[in-house]
Amino acid sequence: MAKNHRGKGLKNLPNHGRGECPVCHRTGVKLLYEVKVGEQTHKVCKNCKQSAAQKLSA
């Protein structure tokens, strides 16, 4: 599945993959990246993807 985060694939997601990022708390951003923290999986925006794991587990 190429380009999972673009185009028609987004239509299948609830709210078209948009929402509030739990890390930066911006609304209307696309939450397409899953970050595992322990047993939980958080969906974060693209910008927070890399640093999210550290912040959420802190």
CB of 11 to Zn ion, least distance (A): 22
**Cβ neighbours of residue 37 closer than 8 Å, sequence gap 6 or more:** 53, 56, 57
Question: Pattern 3-42, binding to Zn ion, x per CB under 5 A?
Answer: ------------------x-xx------------------
- Pick the closer one to Zn ion by CB: 10 or 56: 56
Q: How many CB atoms lie within 10 A of CB 13?
A: 15
Structure tokens at 24: 């930066």
- Pick the closer one to Zn ion by CB: 11 or 25: 25
